[in-house]
Amino acid sequence: MPHVTLVPTPVGNLSDITLRALEVLKNADAVAAEDTRVSGSLLRHYGIDKPLVRLDQHTMRSRAPGVLEQYPRLAFVTDAGTPGISDPGEELVRIVLEAGGTVEVLPGATALIPALVLSGFSTARFHFEGFMPRSGRERRERLAELVDRTVTSVFYESPHRLVDTLEELAALAPGRAVSVTRELSKKFEETYRGSLEEAAAHFAGGVKGEVVVVLSGAAPRDPHAGVDFRGLARAAALEGKSTREIRDLLVQSGLRKNDAYVLALEAIGAAQ
């Protein structure tokens, strides 16, 4: 049965690779890569001489079974970061499991978590979007969902679409705070924090490198906003409910107990 290890590779600085990742690459029967040119440079840098085969989104389903048969102990790498996150590694995992094989995932480099922490926004809960759709109805719907979330949202974006995306988000959520990190762990690493409008203006001159966008959550909505507690109390009093029953009804509807009791008394008095 095949055994595949997903090996994280540096998102920028080659020194970020782990000792265990190097050990797995050295001991594998072969290394499968999203782009053999990119991964070949990494292997040469560390003096690793292993068969290197291409498995990308276009060839994964057709070539993976044969590669796994030829190299049952396979290491898989992508261009950068942890395989399986918004890349062909996701499909490879399914193929291996369907074949009855085993999958191992090493901890290591990713752009997602450093950018999230750098933002300064809440990390207690967050939502990861991967890459946003390029255009069309799906993109509009995803952006609308994104600005409505009350938790921090993180997504990857192409440098060529970054400004358009920031402007579209600004139209939906004016003034919302955002953090944009690019070129993580590289010489020209940058994290810009500001409003969506300010970020769009900052990057209007052009953007280079891989980009991670972190959007702050929307302010929580009051689920009881607009509730007519006084009207609710009066209607209950006219139905013959007691002071305690009206109070409990108002508390269940979101009103504080003391305020509910005052309105209940008021409603009972008005109904008599």
Interhelix angle for 60-70 vs 89-98, to 10°?
A: 60
pLDDT for 115-166, tens place per residue?
999 999 999 999 999 999 988 899 999 999 999 999 999 999 999 999 999 9
Strand partners, 215: 153, 178
Q: Taken in order 179, 142, 197, 158, is the CA torsion positive or negative?
A: positive
Higher pLDDT, 226 or 245: 245
* Contacts of residue 5, Cβ cutoff 8 Å, sequence gap at least 6: 24, 28, 74, 75, 76, 103, 104, 105, 106
Q: What is the pLDDT of residue 162?
A: 97
pLDDT for 39-87, tens place per residue?
999 999 999 999 999 999 999 999 999 999 999 999 999 999 999 998 9
Q: What is the pLDDT of residue 223?
A: 61
Let me know: does 99 contact 68? Beta carbons within 8 Å: yes
pLDDT for 171-214, tens place per residue?
999 999 999 999 999 999 999 999 999 999 999 999 999 999 99
Determine the Cα angle at 72 with ends 66 and 78, to 5°.
Answer: 75
Mean pLDDT over each residue of the chain, to the nearest integer: 92
pTM (two decimals): 0.79
